[in-house]
Amino acid sequence: MQEQLIFKDRTKLSPRYIPKELPHRQKQIDLLKRIFSSIKNDPDKYPLTILQIIGPTGIGKTSTLIKFANLLQEELADNKISSKIVYINLKLLGGNKYAIYKYILGSIAPELPAQGLSAEEMLRQMIDYLDKTSSYALIILDEIDYLIKISKDIGIIYDLTRLTEFYPTKRCNVKGVIFIARSTEFYEKLDAAELSSLGRVAIEFPTYTINQVSDIIMQRSEEAFIEKVIGPDIIDWIARILISPSVNGDIRYALDLLTYSGNLAENEGTGKILIEQVKKVHQQIFNGITDEDIKELSKGEIVSLLAIIRGIRLKQREYTELKEIEMQAIEIAENNNIKNMDIYDSLDELSAKKIITVQSLKKIFLGSASIDDLEKILVKRLDAIKS
């Protein structure tokens, strides 16, 4: 059978891809541009500006910030102003202050050695470098709420919001520090000084409406698929799934649906994506967790999920209990030489991400249509992290 092409460019369905135009986020981009509008006139007079971006997963926070940062950098370049943009996903980098500051220094001044410096000394090196090179920086820290939750050393907020105090009589060329979070719940773990430095005013990103979701799916589909591969009925169906409470507007889930449905259509040689194929994929992958979520899971979270799956299989029911999860997790951790794992923190994080549902200590659910498939993926991911 002759191969029926479906995709024009698969990368356009990647959550890492940032389109030239971001539908329904121009209002937020314009607001950010207004906040930083005067920096191009006289950057030395523009003060260090601290912002918070708040909103649930998959509604364009990161894409909007990176898009804005690139526009700002281009505008500064047009005015002969040198600038550095640093974006850090704190969940991927980890909760170590030293590693975070080393990454910031390396992004701004890759030629400077960080070895042997303390975390605070690296910040001083960064400030000195920007001053000597007459450059200016914008630092974006994604998943700050995750960092605060897992890290006992939360002084990063205090440090980065008070960079001007490192050299009180000297200019600070870091002009913006932007924190991205899913909610403001992390405020509870901050002390009064950190809350004061951070400020209480946040730019909130609302969830998408069904019409906005349809627009975004249509745009990505036009870039990813060849013409007439996907019909409006499928886009409408996916949009309705996305605005349901269980998905809550997470565009990444739509990208997964489109990717796997396209793969299935190619394998079956249908020449276009059928609604039956999308529904089949949805049934297989809808478990409250996407490919991108799996890539971002910590070792502890993977072990906890595997323990839940094995507990469910052992008891042959839709849920398991904490005691069983603990027993399974200990065995999995020992078999994989994983130490110092806090099962309770991992379960809390999985619950916060809505990957699992905790009704009680004796009823912990995993909304998976196929725990066998999910288990295989998690085992592979754990092996990859270990190697």
Which pLDDT does position 385 carry in this prediction? Answer: 81
Using the predicted structure, report yes or no on whether residue 326 has a pLDDT greater than 70. Answer: yes
Using the predicted structure, report yes or no on whether residue 198 has a pLDDT greater than 80. Answer: yes
Least confident among 6-15, 79-88, 252-261, 367-376: 367-376
User: Which one has a higher pLDDT value, 3 or 117?
Assistant: 117
- The 3 state secondary structure assigned to the chain is CCCCCCECCHHHHCCCCCCCCCCCCHHHHHHHHHHCHHHHCCHHHCCCEEEEEECCCCCCHHHHHHHHHHHHHHHHHHCCCEEEEEEEEHHHHCCCHHHHHHHHHHHHCCCCCCCCCCHHHHHHHHHHHHHHCCEEEEEEEECHHHHHHHCCCCCHHHHHHCHHHCCCCCCCCEEEEEEEECCCHHHHHCCHHHHHHHCCCCEECCCCCHHHHHHHHHHHHHHHECCCCCCHHHHHHHHHHHCCCCCCCCHHHHHHHHHHHHHHHHHHCCCCCCHHHHHHHHHHHCCCCCHHHHHHCCHHHHHHHHHHHHHHHHHCCCEECHHHHHHHHHHHHHHCCCCCCCHHHHHHHHHHCCCEEEEECCEEEECCCCHHHHHHHHHHHHHHHHC
Average pLDDT over residues 147-175: 85
Half-sphere exposure of 255 (CA within 13 A, CB side): 26
In sign, the C-alpha dihedral spanning 263, 356, 150, 326 is negative
Which pLDDT does position 71 carry in this prediction? Answer: 96
Average pLDDT over residues 88-98: 83
Average pLDDT over residues 161-189: 91
Helix axes 322-335, 299-315, angle to 10 degrees: 120
The pLDDT confidence band at residue 189, using thresholds 50, 70 and 90, is: confident
Average pLDDT over residues 296-304: 90
Of the spans 166-175, 323-332, 337-346, which averages the highest pLDDT?
A: 323-332
Which pLDDT does position 370 carry in this prediction? Answer: 61
What distance lies between CA 29 and its chain's CA centroid?
18
Which pLDDT does position 114 carry in this prediction? Answer: 81
The pLDDT confidence band at residue 1, using thresholds 50, 70 and 90, is: very low
Using the predicted structure, report yes or no on whether residue 304 has a pLDDT greater than 70. Answer: yes
The C-alpha atoms of residue 15 and residue 35 are separated, in whole angstroms, by 27
Helix axes 275-285, 251-268, angle to 10 degrees: 120
Its pTM surpasses 0.85: no
In sign, the C-alpha dihedral spanning 142, 17, 254, 293 is negative
The C-alpha atoms of residue 60 and residue 66 are separated, in whole angstroms, by 10
The C-alpha atoms of residue 18 and residue 270 are separated, in whole angstroms, by 29
What average pLDDT is seen over the chain?
89
Q: Where do the domains of the chain lie, and which CATH numbers do they carry?
A: 26-204 (3.40.50.300), 209-286 (1.10.8.60), 292-386 (1.10.10.10)
Which pLDDT does position 286 carry in this prediction? Answer: 65
Which pLDDT does position 238 carry in this prediction? Answer: 93
Bridge partners for 87 per DSSP: 140
What distance lies between CA 329 and its chain's CA centroid?
26
Report yes or no: 53 and 203 within 8 Å, Cβ to Cβ. Answer: yes
Least confident among 193-202, 290-299, 301-310: 290-299
Q: Are strands 319-320 and 203-204 parallel, antiparallel or unpaired?
A: unpaired
Per the listing, tokens 């998905």 go with 247
